[in-house]
Amino acid sequence: MLDFTTQTLPNPTSPEDRAAAMESLGFGTLFTDHMVTIRYTEGQGWHDAVLGPRQPIPLDPAAAVLHYAQEIFEGLKAYRLPDGSVASFRPEANAARFNHSATRLAMPHLPEELFVESIRQLVAADVDWVPDADKGSLYLRPFMFASEAFLGVRPARDYIYCVIASPVGGYFKSGKSAVTLWVSHDYVRAVPGGTGAAKCGGNYAASLMPQSVGIEHGCDQVLFLDAVERKWIEELGGMNIMFVFNDGTIVTPPLNGSILPGITRDSLHAVAQDAGYTVREEPYSFDQWMEDAKSGKLKEAFACGTAAVITPIGEVKSNRGGFIIGNGDGGEVARTLREALVGVQLGQKPDTHGWMTKLA
Ligand SMILES: *Cc1c(COP(=O)(O)O)cnc(C)c1O
C-alpha cells in the first residue's frame, strides 16, 4: 500500500477554540484541521498520498469535473466508544460501494485497504474532533473527482481523491422528530440504466429542484417514484425508505438498479431480523401506501441513512393527495431499531455482526 506523507499544520485549532466550536453541533458546517489527498494519473496509478492541512484545492478551469460531473462520494461516521477509543461502522462496505460508483462513472478504483487507511489517517490526526458519544460523531466524507484539464468528452486521465471530516450533532434532537414528505409525481431522481445506484454528486443535483418544490409545499424531504410507471416508491434524495405493517412485517423497495444500496438499509435488515421481525424486499406503490395508511394496515414509515440513522415519517403530501402515518409522530419499531443500531455504533451493545472497525 501507498505510504502517506504527513504535512504538519502550522497553527492547529487551539483546544479552547475547538471546544467552543463543538459546543452545539449541526450537520456539515464545522470542519476539522486536516484532510487526506491522493492523486491518480493514468499509467501511473495512485500516488502522492498526503495527510495535510485542510485547504482549498487548486483546480484548472478546464478540469473535467467542472464540465461533465465525474464525481463520486461516500459518507460514514467515526464514533467515540465508551473506552475513549474511536471506531467506524462498516467502512469496508463504503469502500466497496465507492468502487461500484467509480465503475459506473468510468473512474479508477481505489484499493479498499487504501480507502480504509485514508480514513484511519485522518481520524488519527483529528481524533480530538470526535465528539463524545452523547454529543454526536465525526462525519467522514471521502470523494473523488476528475481533475484533468480537457474539454473533450471521455473519461478523464487524472483524478483527486480526498477525505474531509466534520463533527456532527447527535441523533436525538429535541422537538418533533417525524418529517413530512413531498411525493414527487413530476420529477424523478434516477432512471433504469442510469446512475441512481451510484453515489455521485449528479444524482443530488437532479434532486435539488424537486426538493425545493417540496419545501414550497411545507415538506421536509422529497420521496421519488420510479421513472417508468411513476408508481413504485423508490427512495428519498439521500435516504432509503422502510414501511412497518400491523402484522409486524417490514417492507423496503428492492434494489432495482436505480435505488442507492444504503448501508444503513442493509444493517437495519439484519438488526430487524435479529429482533424477530420479518423483512421483505418488495415493490410498494404510492397508491397502496395511501390506502394502507388510511386503513391502518400501515403502522409506520421511516427513512434511513448514515446521517440521521432513522427519520420517522409523520405525514405525506403530494399533488395527488396526502395522508398521516400512525399518530403522525413516528412509532415504536423505528425507535426500537434505531436504539439497536445506534447501540452497536456507539459500542454500547455487542457487535455480533463484526461491523465496527477501530480507527484510533
Ligand atoms: C447515501 C445515500 C443513502 C443512504 O446510504 P447509507 O449507506 O445508509 O448512508 C440512500 N440514498 C441515497 C440516494 C444516498 O445517496
Which overall architecture, per CATH, does domain 4-168 show?
Answer: 2-Layer Sandwich (3.30)
Set of cell numbers at residue 39: 492523486
Residue nearest to atom 3 of ligand 1 (CA): 239
| Residue range 83-141, pLDDT digits in tens | 999 999 999 999 999 999 999 999 999 999 999 999 999 999 999 999 999 999 999 99
Establish whether residue 258 lines the binding site of ligand 1, counting it when its CB lies within 6 angstroms of any ligand atom: no
Contact in structure between 225 and 231 (CB atoms under 8 Å): yes
The mean pLDDT of the chain is 96
CATH second-level architecture of 179-345? Alpha-Beta Barrel (3.20)
Q: Where in the chain is the domain with CATH 3.30.470.10?
A: 4-168
State residue 124's pLDDT score. Answer: 97
Contacts of residues 220-223 at CB distance under 8 Å and 24 or more positions apart, as own/partner, are 220/179, 220/180, 220/181, 221/179, 221/180, 221/181, 221/182, 221/303, 221/311, 222/181, 222/182, 222/183, 222/184, 223/181, 223/182, 223/183, 223/184, 223/316
Instruction: Give the position, in ligand 1's atom list, of the atom nearest the Cα of 203.
Output: 13
List CB contacts of 237: < 8 A, sequence separation 6 or more: 189, 204, 207, 208, 210, 211, 221, 222, 224
Q: What is the pLDDT of residues 99-113, one digit of tens each?
A: 999 999 999 999 999
Amino acid letter for position 128? D
Q: Which of 101, 141, 260 to mutate to test the pocket of ligand 1 (most atoms within 8 A of CB)?
A: 260
Lowest mean pLDDT among 60-74, 98-112, 114-128, 164-178: 164-178
Asked whether residue 174 carries a pLDDT value surpassing 70, the answer given is: no
pTM for this predicted structure: 0.96
Locate CATH 3.20.10.10 in the chain: 179-345
pLDDT of 176 > 70? The answer is: no
Q: How far is CA 232 from the centre of its chain?
A: 22
Q: Does the beta carbon of 235 sit less than 6 angstroms from any atom of ligand 1?
A: yes
Tell me, what's the pLDDT at 1? 86
Residue of 199, 239, 267, 309 to mutate, ligand 1, most atoms within 8 A of C-beta: 239
